[in-house]
Amino acid sequence: MRLIKSGAAGFSTYWVLRDATTHLPKTDVAITDIDTYYQKEGAAQSEKKDLEALAAADSAFSQGKGYHCGNGVYRIDFTASAFNGAVGSEVVLIVVAEGCDTLYQRVLIAPAMNMAYINGSDPGDELRDELFGSPASSLNANNVNLLANQRPLSTIAAASDIPSAASNAAAVWGAATRALTDKAGFTLHSDYNAAKTAAQAGDAMKVSVGTGAGQINASGGKVPATLASGDVTGNVPADVKAIADNAVSADAVAAGAVTKLQSGLALDSTVAKDATVAKDATVAKAATVGSPLQAGDYTTPPTKEAVAGQVRTELGTELGRIDAAVSTRLAAASYSAAPSAADVADAVWDEAIAAHDDDGSTGEALAAAATGGDPWATEIPGSYGANTAGKIVGDNLNATVASRLAAASYSAPPSAGSVADAVWDEALSGHTDDGSAGKTLAAAGSAGDPWATAVPGSYASGSAGQILGDCLDAAVSSRLAADSYDSPPSAEDNAEAVWEYETRELTSAGAGGATAKEVWEYETRGLTDK
C-alpha cells in the first residue's frame, strides 16, 4: 500500500499492463483505450475516465492523461480528486484496458508531515551541527548580525527562538537613525515607475510625528485612529473629518428602511373586516399573511344564477330516474341473501340426474357416460381426428408389447471408436473379393510395389508416371558431366580467329556463294598479312 499526502496534485502513477491470456507485459495498448476509476472509502465508485495521450514520458503532470514509457510500463496521471479524501482513509486506483488484466493499487491518504520526524527524533541537534558547527543562538534584534559570520541558515532550537512580529516592530521603531554607508549597493526593483511616484505641482502632505492627537506615534508605528480637520492638507477634495462625521453605515441604512416599512404597514386594529377605508387611512396588517395570490392565479367565481341553473340541471337528471312508486319495490325486510357460489356448486353436483334426461342435456350425457358409454368398447381410431388420443392409440398401438424386444435383452451398440478399432484391426486375408477394399489394400501393401510399376503405362500426360517413363530414357552416366563441358566459342570469336589467321589454300570451294555472302556481310576487317 502506498502513502500519498492528502490533497496531492501532480502525482503520476506507473503500471505494468499484462496480457489477459499470457499475463506477459503488453506493449501495444493505445492510451485512449485505457480507462481509469477510483474507489474512495465509504463512497460510490468514480465514473469512468478515458485517458488522453501525453506527449512524452517526462511531460509535466496532466490529470487524465497517460504515456507508454516502454516494455509494457505505462505512466497514468489520475485526477487530483482521487487523493482529496480524509486523512487515514483508503483509495483503490483501478486501471482497465481491453485484452489486459484489470489492475488495482491501494493508496492510504496520509497527513502532510515533516519527513525529518519520521524516525521519531528531533532533528534539530543534527541540523545545527551540520549547518553551523557552533552552539545554538537565538535570533533577535540584538544578535541578528550573527548570521553574517555563520552559515546561511540560523539555528532554531524551539519556537521561542523566533522573535514575534511585535518584538521585531519594537526593535525597528526603537532603533536610532542609521546612515546608509553604501548607497551604491541599493537598486530599485524593475517594476518601479518613477513617473507614478513623482510629486505633482501643488501636492503637499503634512505629517506630524509625536504622541499627541493626529500625530504618528514613532514608538508604535501606527497612524492615529482619528484625524483633526487640519491633519491632512494639500490636494484634498473635501474635509475628511466632516465626511467621516457625516458617514452613515450600511447597518444604519438597513435599520432605517425596516423602520419605514414597518411604520407604513402599521394598521389600526379597530377597523372592521368589511368597513370602508378612506384612501389615505392606515389599515392594520394581518397578524399572519400567507402566500399572496398572484394576479394571474385569480379566477372569477360563477354568478349565483349560473350556480342555480347547474343545480336545477342535476336535480332534473337524478329525479328523472324515479319512474315507479317506491311501494312497488321489494321491502328490505322481505329480502333474502342470495346463496353463495359454494352453495350453488354443491346443489348442482348433488342434483339427481334422473330428473334431467332431455335429449342433448348434460344430465343425459352424464347418464350415458356412466352406464352404456364404456370407453374400452369404443372402436379406435374410428372417426377421431388427427392428434386425438383415440387416433394416436388406434394407429400406433398395432402390435403386442410382448412381441417387442425386452429391455433386459437390449445390448448397447459399440461406440464409434470401437467400430473404428475393429475395422483397422481386421485381417485383410479374409477380404479378397475383386473390387473390395481389402483386396485393394493388400495389393497396395504387398504386391503393389511402386518401383515395379511400368511407366508411362496409362498414366495421363503431365503426371509423374508419364514424365518419368517418357523423359528418363537413358542412363544419367551416359550424358556429359558438368565439369567436362566447355562452352563453344561465340560467332564473334570464330570470325576474329578466321581473319587473324595466316593465309590458307582453299582445297575445296564448297558452297562458294554462301561463303562469299558471309564474308561480304561480316564487319570490315583489316588484313594483318597482305
Q: What is the pLDDT of residues 283-326, one digit of tens each?
A: 444 444 456 666 667 788 889 898 888 888 888 888 888 888 88
Contact between 137 and 155 under an 8 Å Cβ cutoff? The reply is yes
Is residue 100 domain-resident? Answer: yes
Scan for cell 484496458, then name that residue.
97
By residue count, the chain amounts to 530
517 vs 28, 387, 513, CA distance in Å? 77, 107, 6
Residue 21 in any domain: the answer is: yes
Residue 381: asked if its preceding bond is cis (omega within 30°), the reply is: yes
Say whether 525 sits in a helix, a strand or coil: coil
Place of cell 557552533: 134
Residue 77 lies in a domain: yes
- Rounded to whole angstroms, how far apart are CA atoms 145 and 163? 15
Residue 39 cell numbers, joined: 474507489
CA distance 48 to 414: 58
- For residues 36 and 78, the answer to whether their CB atoms sit within 8 Å is yes
CB 500 within 8 A of CB 528: yes
Phi, psi of 335 (to 5 degrees): -85, 130
Question: In the 8-state DSSP scheme, what is residue 287?
Answer: S
Residue among 140, 173, 169 at smallest CA distance from 156: 140
Q: What SS3 state is found at 242?
A: helix
* CATH code for position 53: 2.60.40
* Alpha carbons 283 and 214: distance in angstroms, whole number: 54
Which residues does the chain have with pLDDT short of 70? 1, 7, 9-10, 112-164, 172-296, 368, 370-373, 443-448, 502-530
Smallest CA-to-CA distance from 240 within 253, 248, 231 is with 231
Does a structural domain hold residue 273? no
Domain membership flag for residue 104:
yes
Domain membership flag for residue 144: no
The total number of structural domains in the chain stands at 1
Asked whether residue 28 is domain-assigned, the answer is yes
User: Does residue 34 form part of some domain?
Assistant: yes
Long-range interactions of 462-466: CB distance < 8 A, separation 24+ = none
**What does the alpha-carbon distance between residue 137 and residue 238 come to, in Å, rounded to a whole number?**
54
Q: β-pairing, 73-77 with 12-16?
A: antiparallel
Q: Please spell the DSSP secondary structure of 442-463, one letter per residue.
A: HIIIII--GGGS-SSTTPPTTS
Range of the domain at 52: 2-113
pTM of the model: 0.27
Compute the chain's Rg from CA coordinates: 62
Phi–psi pair at 422, nearest 5 degrees: -65, -40
